[in-house]
């Protein structure tokens, strides 16, 4: 890692350990109002507004519409896509170089199989925790595991279909930018944890979005 990279990493750690970092962590889960944040952090509304103003200036927070309040609507805030690089991930540049090297030695089919094998192997370390659990409990365990990997995810039901979405960015975006087949790692992992077929429906580009459809067991 370069000196500037190390400096950036230290800055990120200091930020996340501060009150502003706690605000970012809360907003990463879901958009919140000043009221929500002041209650969660036990700060005054004015103190929260001051932190939000600073985070907005730094391009880490943006307004996300209005929410109905008791007397009047309140602004909701969320993290910006640019803020995602601040949160720690469970991999680094070394992993990206490793996958690049492996992809030069394997054909496309073998590489996809290897990605699925990685997800399967990761899931095996956690299967004891979900043994005998209901489908919804397994889904909740899968969400928690994705959070542990550095992503923030949510469960959604649309009619008879069920999905897991990344809230902001992608937990393995350093890989998916050049190797979209890396999403098969998560697809395989989720399938094992939930004990149901899972199919990736991710969006790629400058700001990747995780999406996995959960099938019926």
Q: What is the pLDDT of residues 95-117, one digit of tens each?
A: 778 888 998 999 999 999 999 99
Give CA–CA dist 146/166, Å, rounded. 9
Q: Kindly report the pTM of this predicted structure.
A: 0.61
The sheet with strand 211-214 has its strands ordered as 153-158, 161-166, 211-214, 198-200
Which segments of 67-217 does DSSP mark as H helices, in order?
93-105, 108-124, 127-130, 135-148, 173-176, 183-194
- Confidence bin at 168 (pLDDT 50/70/90): low
What does the buried/exposed string (b/e) look like for 21-59 if buried means 16 or more CB atoms within 10 Å of the residue's CB?
bbbbebbbeebbbbebbbeeeebeeeebeebbeebeeee
80-94, 131-145, 156-170: range with highest mean pLDDT? 131-145
| pLDDT tens for each residue of 132-161 | 999 999 999 999 988 877 777 899 999 899
Domains in the chain, start-ordered, CATH in brackets?
3-86 (1.10.10.10), 93-214 (3.30.1380.20)
């Amino acid at each position: 890692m370069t000196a500037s990279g190390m400096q950036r990493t230290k800055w990120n750690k200091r930020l996340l350990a501060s009150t502003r970092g706690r605000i970012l962590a809360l907003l990463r889960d879901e958009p919140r109002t000043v009221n929500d944040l002041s209650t969660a952090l036990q700060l005054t509304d004015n103190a929260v507004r001051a932190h939000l103003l600073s985070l907005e200036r730094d391009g880490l927070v943006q307004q996300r519409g209005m929410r109905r309040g008791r007397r009047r609507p309140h602004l909701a805030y969320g993290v910006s896509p640019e803020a995602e690089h601040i949160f720690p991930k469970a991999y680094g540049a070394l992993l990206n170089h490793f996958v690049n090297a492996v992809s030069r030695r394997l054909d496309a089919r073998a590489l996809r199989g290897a990605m699925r094998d990685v997800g399967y192997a990761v899931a095996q370390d956690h299967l004891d925790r979900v043994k005998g659990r209901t489908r919804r409990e397994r889904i909740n365990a899968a969400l928690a595991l994705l959070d542990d990997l550095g992503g923030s995810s949510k469960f959604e039901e649309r009619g008879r279909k069920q999905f897991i979405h990344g809230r902001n960015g992608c937990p393995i975006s350093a890989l998916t930018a050049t190797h979209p087949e890396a999403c098969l790692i998560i697809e395989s992992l989720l399938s094992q944890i939930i004990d149901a077929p899972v199919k990736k429906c991710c969006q790629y580009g400058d700001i990747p979005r995780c999406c996995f459809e959960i099938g019926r067991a």
